[in-house]
Amino acid sequence: MNEAIPETGPELTRVKQAADTLLNNVNKVIVGKKETIELVLVALLCEGHVLIEDVPGIGKTMLAKAVAKSLGCSFKRIQSTPDLLPSDVTGIHYFNQRNSEFEFRPGPVMANIVLVDEINRATPRTQSCLLECMQEQQVTVDLETIPLPRPFMVIATQNPVELEGTFPLPEAQLDRFLLRLGLGYPVGNEEGEILLRFGKSNPLDSLTSVIEATELLELQKLCRQVYVDDAVRDYTIAITGATRNHEGIKLGASPRASLGIYLAAQALAAIRGRGYVIPDDIKYLAVPALTHRLISKTEARLRGRSLESIINEIVSTVPVPVEE
In a domain, 324, yes or no: no
How far CA 3 is from CA of 232, 276, 280, in Å, comes to 12, 12, 18
User: Residue 298 above 90 pLDDT?
Assistant: no
Q: Residue 77 domain-assigned?
A: yes
CATH of the domain at 112: 3.40.50.300
For every residue of 92-120, DSSP letters joined together read EEEEETTTTEEEEEE-TTSSSEEEEETGG
Mean pLDDT of 226-233: 91
91 occurs within a structural domain = yes
Per the structure, the complete domain to which residue 295 belongs is given by: 10-317
pLDDT value at 5 more than 70: no
Considering the domain boundaries, does residue 1 fall inside one? no
Q: Whole-model pTM?
A: 0.87
Average pLDDT over residues 252-279: 91
Residues 103-131 have pLDDT tens digits of 778 888 988 889 998 898 988 888 888 88
258 pLDDT exceeds 80? yes
Weakest-pLDDT range from 130-134, 162-166, 207-211, 249-253: 162-166
Task: Say yes or no to pLDDT of 189 above 90.
Answer: no
How many domains are there within the chain? 1
Instruction: Tell the burial category of 53 from Cβ atoms under 10 Å away from its Cβ (0-12, 13-18, 19+).
Output: buried
Residue whose C-alpha is closest to residue 42's, from 242, 226, 241: 226
Q: What is the pLDDT of residue 203?
A: 84
Q: In whole angstroms, what separates CA 176 from the centre of its chain?
A: 9
Measured at the alpha carbon of residue 226, what is the angle toward residues 237 and 324, in degrees to the nearest 5?
60
* Residue 221 maps to a domain: yes
Cα(50)–Cα(174) distance, integer angstroms: 10
Q: Average pLDDT, stretch 267-274?
A: 91
Name the strand (E) or helix (H) holding 319: none
CB 203 within 8 A of CB 28: yes
More reliable by pLDDT, 164 or 224: 224
DSSP structure string for 195-246: HHHHHH--GGGG----EEHHHHHHHHHHHTTSB--HHHHHHHHHHHHHHTT-
Task: Answer whether residue 150 is part of any domain.
Answer: yes
Q: Is residue 2 part of a domain?
A: no
Encode pLDDT of 37-65 as tens digits: 899 999 999 889 999 888 888 888 888 88
Residue 266's pLDDT band (boundaries 50, 70, 90)? very high
Q: Residue 234 domain-assigned?
A: yes
